[in-house]
Amino acid sequence: MSPVETSVSTQKRRHSLALTVGLLLVGINLAVALLTLFWTPYDPLNASGGRLEAPSLLHWLGTDRLGRDLLTQLMIGARTALLVGTGAVAIGAAIGVSLGVVAAFATRLADDVMAATLDILIAFPTLLLAMLVVAASDSASLWTAILALGLAISAIVARLTRILAKRVLRQDYIVASRTSGTSWAGVVFRHVLPNIWPTLSVNFALQFGLAVIAEASLSYLGLGAPPPNASWGRLLQEAQGTVYTAPIGAIAPGIALVALVIGMNLLADGLRDIADPTRGRSR
C-alpha cells in the first residue's frame, strides 16, 4: 500500500524535525531549571500576592492558595523534574548496565536466575515498586523518590543490557579478540559497551520521560518530595482542590510536564535514527 520511494524522504525529514523539537523542548526546560538557581520571579516560599489570584501582568500564571507565585513554583518544578529524571536514569544505568553485563557473562544457571528475577521485577509497574520503596524508607524525600525510580529503571536496563550484550558476545570478532589475548574486562570496554551504547542511550531517554511521569505521580499521591520542594505532581494535587476557582493551576504544570516528556521521547526517536540509520520506520 504505502509507496516506499516517497515515504523514505518524508520520514527522514520528519525525524530530523523530531530531534530538533525534542532538543528544543528539553533545552528550554534545562535553561529554566538552571535559571532558577540564580533567579526566580518571586520568592518561592512566601506569599507574594493575594490567594488564588487570576493571571495578571504581575503574576503571569496567577497565585496558588497560599498566595505564592505559580510561575515561580512551575520553574522550580522544572528543576525537580530534571533532577529526578537525571538521577533516576543515572542510578538505573549504573546498576542496570553492570548487572546486565555480568548476567551476559555468567554461567547458565546464574543467568537464568537473574533473568527470571528481572522478569518478575519488571512485571510490577514502576510506580508500585517505587511506592513500596518510598514506604520502606522512614520519610519521603526527593532522594528516596529518585532512588526508588532508579531501582525500578535498573531492572528494565539490566534486561535490555543482558540481551544486547549476549548478542555481541556471540560475534566472531569477540573470539578473535580473546584469542589475541584481550582480557574479558578489555572485551567489555572495547567491544561490548561501545556496541550496545547507541541502543541503550535511546532507552535512557525513554526511561527519563517515564521517571518524570512516575515522580509526578508519586508526588501527586503524597509520596514524593515534601514541601517546600516544588514538584509538578504536587502542584497539580494542590490545584485539584481549587479547580473550581483557579483552573489555571491545574493546567499549567501538566502542560510543562507533558512538554518535557514529549521532548524526551522525540529526542529518543531522533537518537534512534542517528544510532541506526538502517532502521526505516520508528514505532
Partner 1 sequence: MLFVLLRLLPGDPANALLSVGADAVQIEKAREQVGSNLPLWQQFLRFAGSLARFDLGTSFVSGKPVIEEIAARLTVTVPLALMGFVLAILIAVPLGILSAVKADRWYGGLISTVSQLGIAIPVFWVGILLVTVFAVTFRLFPSGGFPRRGWQNEGQALYALALPVMTIGLVMGASLLRYVRSATQDVLGSDYLRTARALGASFPEALIRHGIRNGAVPIVSILGIELATTLLGAVVVERVFALPGLGSMLLLAIEQRDYPNVQGVLFISTLLVLMIGFTADLTQRLIDPRLRERAVGGNA
Site string for partner 1, 192-231 (x = CB under 8 A): -----------------x---x--xx--xx----------
279 contacts partner 1 (rule: CB under 8 A): no
Q: Does 145 bind partner 1 (CB under 8 A)?
A: no
Number of H helices, E strands in the chain: 10, 0
Grid cell listed for 45: 516560599
Cβ proximity of 88 and 36 under 8 Å? no
Site size for partner 1 (CB under 8 A): 37
CA distance 259 to 271: 18
Q: Which of 28, 40, 41, 124 binds partner 1 (CB under 8 A)?
A: 124
Residue 66 CB neighbours (<10 A): 12
* Closest distance of CB 4 from partner 1, Å: 10
Q: How far is CA 141 from the centre of its chain?
A: 18
Nearest CB to partner 1, comparing residues 113 and 243: 243
To partner 1, the closest distance from the beta carbon of 234 in angstroms equals: 11
Alpha-carbon gap, residue 235 to 85, rounded angstroms: 18
Q: Are 211 and 149 in contact (CB under 8 A)?
A: yes
For residue 196, give the 3-state DSSP assignment: helix
Q: CA separation (Å) from 71 to 44, 127, 189, 231?
A: 9, 28, 45, 12
Residue 131 near partner 1 by CB under 8 A: yes
In angstroms, rounded to a whole number, what is the distance separating the alpha carbons of residues 270 and 279? Answer: 12
Residue 17 interacts with partner 1 (CB under 8 A)? no
- Told to check if 240 binds partner 1 by CB under 8 A, we report yes
The answer to whether the CB of 94 falls within 8 A of the CB of 153 is no
Answer yes or no whether residue 125 interacts with partner 1 by CB under 8 A.
yes
| Interaction between residue 265 and partner 1 (CB under 8 A) | yes
Nearest approach, Cβ of 15 to partner 1 (angstroms)?
Answer: 13
Name the residue nearer to partner 1 (CB basis): 75 or 239.
239
Q: How far apart are CA 273 and CA 239, in angstroms?
A: 39
> Under the criterion CB under 8 A, does residue 120 sit at the interface with partner 1?
yes
Q: Write out the residues near partner 1 by the rule CB under 8 A.
A: 1-2, 120, 123-125, 127-128, 131-132, 135-138, 209, 213, 216-217, 220-221, 233, 236, 239-240, 243-244, 247, 250-251, 254, 257-258, 261-262, 265, 281, 283
